[in-house]
Structure 1
């Protein structure tokens, strides 16, 4: 019997991984979520608190999925504090997803923070297709680096390179993720670029990709209340990130004047970066 993804499903937290002092990954059994495409998201209900959109992370068990949380606001902190054996509610997965060109041979992934989540899921797919991959992990410092070992394991069956960049230079490449991207493009040729992370970072990734005439896909983040295109709280001009995205290509991004310039807070007010 088909499952209605719009009805909340209760899931039991089976494992919790501490990625950094402020980032955790929560794993749970859910067959529908386990089949999510790279870039799709879940609406995660924290009982009595809030419902949040969360990208679907890979999991190492059959019919399992995961979400990765950075402790920040009320909702994310409540989710961060969840323990093994507690329950969550989930809807979805929703949204479109990253697309891989049939003739792709070598691709570049650029991510920062929890924006790495959909890129790790994409990396797993690239691994299955034996497509060569370079993944750039951007962080402010070594203490904020996570998913390096996970990415290496996920890409174990294909030729790959993982570049960690830290802004203070205490680990890996010294500089931003976009600095590392510029350096990588000087040394190697890529078919396309995929990115997810802070929007100002993605804006620079887009500009660099343009300079090298590379097709690019970016997974955007916006405040979401419904996840199904009704409330319009996730709008970016005439697009709804939950329905038209979260993934947009370079042609779409180039027409978005708000991309990398402003966003809307939970009340709908436009905030300039």
Structure 2
């Protein structure tokens, strides 16, 4: 199970900082790079964690950290899908936003084979993990990784994110699987279909070699996709670490809007990453979210 969050409460106040670079990822997605040094000590950020982003005069929303490892600097990658994100997309270099965090737990690397499944803007969460695992595979320090496979999916080729960054990380195209609904790039179909095929192939190959090596699936994307990823991992008795998204107003367990029914666990504090054990008990997973009033709605 991924570890509990390590919260420094000095980071709970928004730190107003200027946007220093904006990268247009595709027609609907931008990456914003900001300086982030609200305290004197260095801030450690882990793959899978998130920050609360305040757009002055508009709203505050949770965003996955898409680039880490820079000194006093971080990045978020944002799709324009609502009032707050559309307002953020209108900002320019030099404009200011508020950042607080990081919050939440993080992906916990395991030995063996790692399969990373990202759908759409969910790639922002797993991109730092891909970088971490590939570096660890090449120069092991903590884990023994046999394979690190990335599966990315989108509706069409122009919607795929970070293709150049992922290629630079890997320098090995055989470990990258791109899936598009229309077949414009890579496999024509869903990431979950490709995941099912890869798991079946890997398990059969291990049986043929008369060996057993652990497989871990790490995933972020639309919850309908995550639900299917979970079901496939259950079928093959494989651990999944899935990053969930819920309505959040606080980020540290006060408002309760992000509770998972009926467990009482909070996505912001106990997650956002959960494994099979919790997902088996969560009745609203893949079915319902809550709005700002706490009222459930079907996804």
- What's the TM-score, normalizing by structure 1? 0.92
SS of structure 2 residue aligned to 1:5 = helix
Q: 1:124 to 1:133 in 2, by over 3 A?
A: same
Q: Deviations over 1:74-96 (max 9, x none)?
A: 00101112111111110000111
Task: Identify unmatched segments of 5+ residues in structure 2.
Answer: 1-7, 138-144, 204-213
* Distance (whole Å) between structure 1 residues aligned to residue 168 and residue 227 of structure 2: 29
Residue 264 (str. 1) matches residue 290 (str. 2) = yes
CA distance in 2, matches of 1:35, 1:267: 33
State the SS of the aligned residue for 1:224: coil
Tell me the SS of whatever aligns to 1:118: helix
Look up the SS of the partner of 2:48 in the other structure: coil
Aligned to 2:29: 23
2:228 to 173, 195, 204: 204
Deviations 1:146-204 (A, max 9, x none): 11111222345x89711110011111100011011122223335611011100000000
Aligned twin of 1:48: 57
Counterpart of 1:120?
A: 127
SS of the counterpart of 1:98? Answer: coil
Moved more, 15-24 or 231-240: 231-240
CA distance in structure 1 between the aligned counterparts of 2:101 and 2:246, rounded to whole angstroms: 17
**May I ask how many residue pairs the two structures share in their alignment?**
269
CA contact (8 A) 1:148 1:162 kept: no
Whole-Å Cα distance in 2 between the matches of residues 248 and 67 of structure 1? 22
1:63 is displaced (CA, Å) by: 3.0
Aligned to 2:181: 167
2:10 to 4, 24, 32: 4
- CA shift, 1:261, in A, is 1.2
The structure number with the bigger radius of gyration is 2
Paired with 2:274 and 2:37, the residues of 1 have a C-alpha distance of 27
User: What's the secondary structure of 2:282's corresponding residue?
Assistant: coil
Please list the CA deviations of residues 3-55 of structure 1 after superposition, one character each: whole Å capped at 9, or x if unmatched.
Answer: 81112112211111111101000011225797311111100000010001001
* 1:13 equivalenced with 2:19 (yes/no): yes
TM-score of the superposed pair, with normalisation by structure 2: 0.85
How far apart are the structure 1 equivalents of 2:25 and 2:32?
A: 10
Q: Distance in 2 between matches of 1:259 and 1:151?
A: 29
Alpha carbon RMSD of aligned pairs, Å? 2.0
**What whole-Å deviation, never above 9, does each CA across 1:233-271 have from its counterpart, x for those lacking one?**
111221111011001010000100100111112222111
Distance 1:260 1:92 in 2: 27
Q: What is the rounded CA distance, in whole Å, between the counterparts of 1:154 and 1:63 in structure 2?
A: 22
Separation in structure 1 between the aligned mates of residue 248 and residue 9 of structure 2, nearest angstrom: 23
Encode CA deviations 1:207-241: one digit per residue, 9 max, x unaligned. 11111111111010001111111111111221111
Relative to structure 1, the CA distance from residue 230 to residue 60 in structure 2 (aligned partners, 3 Å threshold; closer, same or farther) is: closer
Q: Compared with structure 1, are the counterparts of its residues 12 and 105 closer, same or farther at alpha carbon in structure 2 (3 Å cutoff)?
A: same
State whether residues 68 and 128 of structure 2, in contact with CA within 8 Å, keep that contact through their aligned partners in structure 1. no
Return 68-77 or 126-135, whichever deviates more. 126-135
In the alignment, which of 86, 97, 102 is matched to residue 106 of structure 2? 97
In the other structure, the counterpart of 1:58 is 67
* Partner Cα distance (1:198, 1:151) in 2: 20
Deviation, 1:133, is 0.9
Equivalent in the alignment of 1:152: 167
